Chains A and B, each alone.
Chain A
């Protein structure tokens, strides 16, 4: 299983669905998911429904995405986090840079 990226019908939102593990092994795939997206995209949603585990390199990847897309995308959302994953996001105060649902 790998991560999936999907563009909304209006091409304004990119949804990246992660699989069970969000760790350094996803560096290339994650970057590929948001490279070359159309200029119309103003929101990126990272859907963590399936994600059971997360490490600090995942946090790095998320922040790196914001750096790369600086000025292009205005809203970053992290959705459907499980409690354990949410705990890590909360500890790292990711709510300051991402909208966490």
Chain B
């Protein structure tokens, strides 16, 4: 430790330096005047100053005032040397920032004890300052990292602005980052999806899981997958990703195009409450499953619940942070508290509910994130246009001769070709049904000339398919032509299927008999397609699909 001794009398400096050196303090500087003391102090940065009060020129009091005002945050002890034993001098010494004093003649024991005590305080102060610096640096780093993460979150977790207006929604995080997630996205089938969920815990650690969930949810929603498929994919992703003690309670809901049919998968979330137009409780979608990210995929259950609500009904979903809210007297808000407010009250908004929640809480802070969302049944057909499709009009032609007809895989490849275009992947399932139907008709009745009336008996049913493979095996001529054309401006896909057969009597198609195992193809086409037409004596079928 470095000590500065300031005294105009050399005898005093000598005595003090000697005493200190005897005790092993070897890093000692001397100043003969107040002026010199200030210059030296700035240069050598002493840890303690022994300062004479009465000096010619600048006196000790002035020196102390200046030193204390320029000194940094670390405590710099100043011990005054005084022969004046009077009270008011002592008071003045302390007033200007002196920390202690020793009186002349020096009592060696007292001087050394005081120096030692103040140096110890100095050392503590130095340590604290170093720790403060470290803490400050750490805090700055964390703040910067949070800013970066917040930026990423704000860019990555964005709900489709065309869908959010359908929800009355509020998230109240317990800390800067919320472990609650609310996502919504339009479905290519018309209608929409939403997901409300809650990661174990709160804060950054639990918020981080929202990123992969958002990405996966949006990707699956834009493909029009079922809530069961979305649930099981999210489960697989999270089971892989999350540490064992962390999981994601979530409810995934699909609302169809008429805005009233709900498919709900609920794993570990509080009941979703469906309220009729009069405000009465119509239906609870209770948790049927464990939260996501716990079960292996083979243990995982993806069954959803389906319910068709009356027009004007509303569905409320919320995270358990809401029911676990506790006020000053230790009472919980509870499901009962919430349901009392919601049931029978067809006009209460999320804002009203959160206001009640704040009243209940008073001065206490929430311990967990709280999220509420409310959806009112309404027509969602406007969302269909939100689905982006390829801007490119295209036309694909394929001629299938005997070899390709035998291989039997052509339809699959043809469908892949169409569905690989932007925004068309979700029609794969319908397209499969439609094209397989048209293709089978063209091949079996047209090219191979087999009549479906064979299927009238159960023996004939099998015979029909046996004949099909026999004739196909021996086929040497004939064709099926496929053509798909897409018009992005009309959002319409047209399919043409032409065969080399004799055709059939278009005007006299028999009504399908529900008891028979054939003849339901055309009826199915009529439901799945916008238009169904036959040309050229029935050898060409033309259907259109609206997207």
Contact = CB atoms under 8 A, between A and B. Distances in A.
B504 interface: no
Contacts of A91: 523-524, 527-528
Contact of B520 (A59, A67, A80): A59
Contacts of A27: 462, 465
A93 B514 contact: yes
B527 A31 contact: no
A36 interface: no
A55 B518 contact: no
Given A57-B440, A63-B516, A88 B433 contact: yes
Given A23-B436, A59-B520, A68 B430 contact: no
B432 interface: yes
Nearest to B189: A83
B524 A88 contact: yes
B433 A83 contact: no
A55 to B, nearest CB: 4
B105 interface: no
Contacts of B462: 27, 31
Contacts of B402: none
B456 to A, nearest CB: 10
A19 interface: no
Interface string B364-405: 000000000000000000000000000000000000000000
A84 interface: yes
A56 B521 contact: yes
B109 interface: no
B458 interface: yes
Contacts of B518: 60
B455 interface: yes
Interface in B19-52: none
Q: Give the most central of A27, A55, A85, A93: most B CB within 10 Å.
A: A55
Interface residues of A, number: 29
B255 to A, nearest CB: 13
Given A24-B440, A55-B436, A59-B520, A84 B429 contact: yes
Nearest to B432: A53
A82 interface: yes
Interface in B455-503: 455, 457-458, 461-462, 465, 468
Interface string A34-50: 00000000000000000
Contacts of B345: none
Q: Give the most central of A80, A83, A88, A96: most B CB within 10 Å.
A: A83
Contacts, number: 74
B408 interface: yes
A59 B514 CA distance: 11
A55 B226 contact: no
A64 B437 CA distance: 18
B226 A64 contact: no
A54 B514 contact: no
B419 to A, nearest CB: 12
B175 interface: no
B517 interface: yes
A88 B430 CA distance: 9
A71 interface: no
A56 B430 CA distance: 12
Nearest to A54: B433
Contact of A55 (B433, B515, B516, B523): B433
B226 A82 contact: yes
Contacts of A61: 461, 517
A48 to B, nearest CB: 12
B513 to A, nearest CB: 11
Interface string A3-40: 00000000000000000000111011001000000000
Given A25-B408, A84-B429, A96-B514, A56 B465 contact: no
20 contacts: A27-B462, A52-B429, A55-B432, A55-B433, A56-B433, A56-B436, A56-B440, A59-B524, A60-B455, A60-B518, A63-B515, A68-B458, A82-B228, A83-B226, A85-B429, A91-B523, A91-B524, A91-B527, A92-B523, A92-B524
Interface of A: 23-25, 27-28, 31, 52-57, 59-61, 63-64, 67-68, 80, 82-85, 88, 91-93, 96
Given A24-B465, A53-B429, A83-B263, 6 more contacts: A55-B436, A56-B524, A61-B461, A63-B517, A64-B517, A92-B520
